[in-house]
Chains A and B, each alone.
Chain A
Amino acid sequence: MKEVILLLGVSLLFIPIFLTLILGFRNNSLSIDMEYVKDPFYFGNSFRKKISDVIFSSTIINKNLVKAKLSREELIVFGKINFINSVVYRNCVYVSFGENHIRKGTYFEKEILSTGNLYIGEDSVLRAVASNADIFLGKGVHIVRWIDAQGSIQLGEDCILGISSASKKEIKLAKGVRFTRLFGFPVCTNKNRIKNPSREIRENRYGKEVVIHADESLLIVGDIFADEKIELKNVKVIGNIFCHGDVYLENVEVGDENSYFSVIGNKVFISGNSNVSIFGYIQAGYLKGFVV
């Protein structure tokens, strides 16, 4: 018996080595992107740059269609999206000029760049969307990867926003929306702002749980950190909200036009019936942000 245990024990030594053999022989060195900067607009800007870089080096197939190397060889359609049958060309990248409309229930496998306002019909599924103006999403639109607007983003109910959503202006939320990362000025449920708070606290808050339900509106100037739960109601915060557990927000304003902050939690619940307005960044686990 002891010999068997010894043999099993010694064999544990070799399991990691076998694992490395099974998992491959790539010997790439650990690399650090020395120029990397955390940027909520990374996806959109990177995509725009790729398009502008290849626009003159692409191979013309016809007056609306070119072939170019983005991350890999792609077909790029130049034109108005609402004039194109997306079911046929859904595996193309689209660069569309002026105002564009995507019909209800359309499915695009590749990225879309719109230079004007972009209207996305209900229940459409798009991989990634960038617009140099505003974007309007109908009910139930599913963005698989990212959405980026130089203007505002207006969401319909029950939209699903993949890994990143960023707007230089407002992101207007609606009930049933699920998200991972949002960045906007502000990200809000409606345009109502919290009126001048009647009380003010200037301190950082830290605890296992931080629960603040103010009867009248309260101003907290400082950061709020918790290990398990943050629940805020009728509060304006000039600071960051960070929780390793879940965050609940009802009638809450974070930051203002002059200073932006972050709201970060494993899950983030935003009350869609209340006035929530966050100037800056919201982050939850993958699709664990909810407007309820």
Chain B
Amino acid sequence: MILALKFYMFFCIVLFGIYIVRHFVFTGNRLLGKQKISYGDILTSELPTVSVLVPMHNEEKVAEKLLNRLVKVNYPKDKYEIVVINDHSTDKTGEIIETFKKENPEISIKVMHRTTGNRGKPVALNDGLKIASGEIVVVFDADYLPSKDLIRNLVVNFKNPKVGAVMGRVIPVNSGKNILTKLLELERIGGYQVDQQARYNLHLIPQYGGTVGGFRKNLVVKTGGFKENILAEDTELTFRLYVNGYEVVYSNRAECYEESPEDWSVRGRQIRRWSTGHNQVMFSYIFKLLTSKHLSFFQKVDGILLLMVYLVPVFLFLGILDAVALFFLGEANILTYSYFWVISMMIGTFGNFAPFYQVVAGAILDDSPAKAKLLPLLFFNFFFNTFYILLGFKDALIGLVKKHYPIWDKTQRYGDT
């Protein structure tokens, strides 16, 4: 028993050590390393056709803002269409969409009202794909505000035949709202400006994030569309593309505003959903990833670490219990075992989604270093996140054992920015 507890402690120390090294490598790459050229730099008259898919469920607060931005984008109108999927809305979303379509006849706007069948983003996207005619599909959640050049900047990445999906950068529009939105902005800065870009630079696995991103329609349709029982359809698509020999590209200059959750309960439910979905993907793909012939050794290592992102807090939680047990059993000299443990916990998982060196590096690259002054508060965020990640892991585990799949829980919109 004691041996098992000690072995688990050793396992945690090694695991967190690996994550620490990974975060330092990413930070170092962004501050000092060679940066890859962005495909977004390509200028050409020959652009592919694109369908912008917007799934909406009770989005009356934000629907019109997004649609207004989408009709203003800089993309040839004969190669561009907007597909809005009104997914079981019970508010005025449907009316807003129909009115908007009538008022903008110069743009091809297709509207689908889903009133039967399951609700949820993957199901809505699958239905949207049936009526989308573009070679490339770009997806936006309803609370996003795309800039004028964003569609071109994303779509031009697909000129590279190896690219299966592209992901742009998300920037919170309501970061000044309260302490939560400020902390979420820090996570976004570290997560995109450093983590995603470094993975692109190092030819690892940048992640398609489900919104402000796009994919090749034929690839997704050919491989069965979106898996409707998986709550992280974006992560699933990322790994599906990689094990099939395609790449995901991160485009740091394809920036788009999003609305961050403004209260803790909404954020908690969002994390729980992400954790459930991400762990579902981990159960499905960890062996496929290891056995894929298309991935390099380092891509496999990065892929495994990425798949385990929402499992690490579970290991950490158990590790804390383990340390306490060892201490009370008189088998742990705290300074012997824990000095690395304390450091790794503080450095490696501080903030969980964007460890703090990445946050500061990102803030410096964004010319906003003062933002990182709130960094110490991410420590509390970490415990909050851990709680909901544990709940999400439990949901995923139950789903795996009982084949009982969780319901899509949409993030609440505020529409006041």
Residues on A facing B (Cβ under 8 Å): 2-3, 5-6, 9-10, 12-13, 16-17, 19-21, 23-30, 32-38, 40, 183, 204, 206, 223, 225, 227, 239-240, 242, 244, 258-262, 264-266, 280-281, 283
Contact at B364–A19, with CB atoms within 8 Å? Answer: yes
Question: CA separation between A264 and B156, bound complex, in Å?
Answer: 13
Contact at A259–B46, with CB atoms within 8 Å? Answer: yes
- Shortest CB-to-CB span from B296 to chain A, Å, is 12
By a CB distance below 8 angstroms, the chain B residues around A265 are 37
- Shortest CB-to-CB span from B175 to chain A, Å, is 6
By a CB distance below 8 angstroms, the chain A residues around B203 are 227
**Contact size class for B?**
35 or more
Say if the beta carbon of B413 comes within 8 Å of chain A: no
Q: Among B82-90, B98-106, B127-135, B370-378, which stretch is in contact with chain A?
A: B370-378
By a CB distance below 8 angstroms, the chain B residues around A21 are 373
Given the contacts A40-B43, A223-B159, A9 and B370 also touching, CB distance less than 8 Å? no
Contact of A34 among B43, B145, B189, B375 (CB under 8 A): B145
Say if the beta carbon of B219 comes within 8 Å of chain A: no
Contact at B373–A17, with CB atoms within 8 Å? Answer: yes
Question: CA separation between A5 and B335, bound complex, in Å?
Answer: 11
Contact at B343–A10, with CB atoms within 8 Å? Answer: yes
Given contacts A3-B339, A34-B148, A259-B45, 20 further A-B contacts (CB under 8 A): A6-B342, A10-B343, A17-B372, A19-B369, A20-B370, A20-B372, A23-B370, A27-B370, A32-B171, A32-B255, A34-B145, A36-B149, A183-B43, A225-B162, A240-B44, A260-B45, A280-B43, A280-B45, A281-B42, A283-B41
- Shortest CB-to-CB span from B311 to chain A, Å, is 24
Contact at B343–A9, with CB atoms within 8 Å? Answer: yes
Question: CA separation between A19 and B361, bound complex, in Å?
Answer: 10
- Shortest CB-to-CB span from A35 to chain B, Å, is 5
- Shortest CB-to-CB span from B288 to chain A, Å, is 23
By a CB distance below 8 angstroms, the chain B residues around A6 are 335, 339, 342-343
* Closest A residue by C-beta to B257: A32
Enumerate 27 A-B pairs (CB-CB under 8 Å) in ascending A order.
A2-B339, A9-B342, A10-B343, A10-B346, A13-B346, A13-B356, A16-B372, A17-B375, A19-B364, A25-B370, A27-B368, A27-B370, A30-B366, A34-B145, A36-B148, A37-B149, A38-B43, A225-B159, A242-B159, A244-B37, A259-B45, A260-B44, A261-B46, A262-B41, A262-B43, A264-B41, A265-B37
Contact at B343–A12, with CB atoms within 8 Å? Answer: yes
Question: CA separation between A6 and B347, bound complex, in Å?
Answer: 12
Contact at B162–A37, with CB atoms within 8 Å? Answer: no
Instruction: Identify which of residues 142-193 in chain B touch chain A, using a CB-to-CB cut-off of 8 Å.
Output: 145, 147-149, 152-153, 159-162, 171, 175-176, 185, 189
Contact of B363 among A12, A20, A37, A239 (CB under 8 A): A20
- Shortest CB-to-CB span from A40 to chain B, Å, is 7
- Shortest CB-to-CB span from B328 to chain A, Å, is 22
Say if the beta carbon of B118 comes within 8 Å of chain A: no
Question: CA separation between A38 and B47, bound complex, in Å?
Answer: 15
> What 5 pairs across the A-B complex have the smallest Cβ distances?
A9-B343, A16-B360, A23-B369, A6-B339, A281-B43
Say if the beta carbon of B388 comes within 8 Å of chain A: no
Given the contacts A13-B346, A244-B37, A225 and B160 also touching, CB distance less than 8 Å? yes
* Closest B residue by C-beta to A33: B147
Question: CA separation between A223 and B163, bound complex, in Å?
Answer: 13
Contact of B44 among A5, A225, A280 (CB under 8 A): A280
Contact of A20 among B39, B147, B336, B373 (CB under 8 A): B373
Given the contacts A6-B335, A38-B152, A240 and B42 also touching, CB distance less than 8 Å? yes
By a CB distance below 8 angstroms, the chain B residues around A30 are 171, 175, 185, 189, 366, 368
Give B313-351 as 1s and 0s: 1 = Cβ < 8 Å from A's Cβ atoms: 000000000000000000000011001101100110010
By a CB distance below 8 angstroms, the chain B residues around A23 are 364, 369-370
Given the contacts A33-B147, A283-B41, A24 and B370 also touching, CB distance less than 8 Å? yes
By a CB distance below 8 angstroms, the chain B residues around A13 are 346-347, 350, 356
By a CB distance below 8 angstroms, the chain B residues around A24 are 369-370
By a CB distance below 8 angstroms, the chain A residues around B148 are 34-37
Say if the beta carbon of B36 comes within 8 Å of chain A: yes
Say if the beta carbon of B208 comes within 8 Å of chain A: no
By a CB distance below 8 angstroms, the chain A residues around B189 are 30
- Shortest CB-to-CB span from A102 to chain B, Å, is 30
Question: CA separation between A2 and B280, bound complex, in Å?
Answer: 40
Say if the beta carbon of B357 comes within 8 Å of chain A: yes
- Shortest CB-to-CB span from A204 to chain B, Å, is 4
Contact at A29–B372, with CB atoms within 8 Å? Answer: no
Question: CA separation between A262 and B159, bound complex, in Å?
Answer: 11
- Shortest CB-to-CB span from B245 to chain A, Å, is 11
Contact at A27–B145, with CB atoms within 8 Å? Answer: no
Question: CA separation between A239 and B185, bound complex, in Å?
Answer: 39
Contact at B370–A34, with CB atoms within 8 Å? Answer: no
Say if the beta carbon of B74 comes within 8 Å of chain A: yes
Instruction: Identify which of residues 344-401 in chain B touch chain A, using a CB-to-CB cut-off of 8 Å.
Output: 346-347, 350, 356-357, 359-360, 363-364, 366-373, 375-376
